[in-house]
Structure 1
Amino acid sequence: MRGVDLTWAGGEHTFLLGLDLLRALEVKCDAGPMHILQRLSSGQWYVDDIIETIRLGLEGGGLPKDAARNLVKRYIGHDEPLTSFVLLARTILMAALYGAEDDPPGESKAGENQSPTHSLAESGDGHASTSGAE
């Protein structure tokens, strides 16, 4: 499984939710990943659906736990409403459940580029927004 690279919080980060982190997300949010995705998509999300998806995705992408926790604390829950971060959380979770947007179904051939090219542009206030990625 590979992560998805997204621009957020002042730089490009890899987000990855493998099975172990999806299980941790289930525990934190008291729901399965598809239920969390449904809540994020329908506007019926819980606070931890957003925060924990982003934090665990950063950890899975290689950021140390303390650094991931600090980054999330610094950018989420201060000046911007939580709704500003729903798209980021949905993108991370969808990549874990469905694969990266540019990831063709089936197995990749040896030597193929394994680097996703997703991008969420960061506005000046630190939250993610969509951009003309790729």
Structure 2
Amino acid sequence: MIGKVIVVLAIILVGVFLLTHTNLFYHPQTPVSKGQEYYTTTNVQNITYQFGIISNVSTNYTVPLKLSYGNVTIKVMGHNAFNLTVVNNSTVIYSGIVDRYFSKTFIIGGDVKLVFSSRQGLEVNVTIFDVLS
């Protein structure tokens, strides 16, 4: 009788051992760390372009841009007076002499060119705010 109990207990222990070490559904409690979550968005509302132009000689400098259609603010700060021409799709929409600072909002888009010219060298910082429609 005791032999039968020992055999049954041994079979149960072997069964438990095999279930806990070979069962695919058994998962021991191990610490799990959660990685960072990344989100992408397609809802971009505005883009800012910034660049500088420095030249020591008289120059004509053209900056071609591809902008969305809508409100575009152009801000230019320079050290000397310079001529600025804004061309939108082959149409001149602004041309004038700028004395150190220029800020203007246009409703433009597509192929835009900024043409800077100066007879005494050119040193300007340009910021363009393109509000997407």
Give the alignment's TM-score, normalised by structure 1.
0.21
Give the TM-score taking structure 2 as reference length.
Answer: 0.21
Q: Higher helix proportion, which one?
A: 1
Structure number with bigger Rg: 2
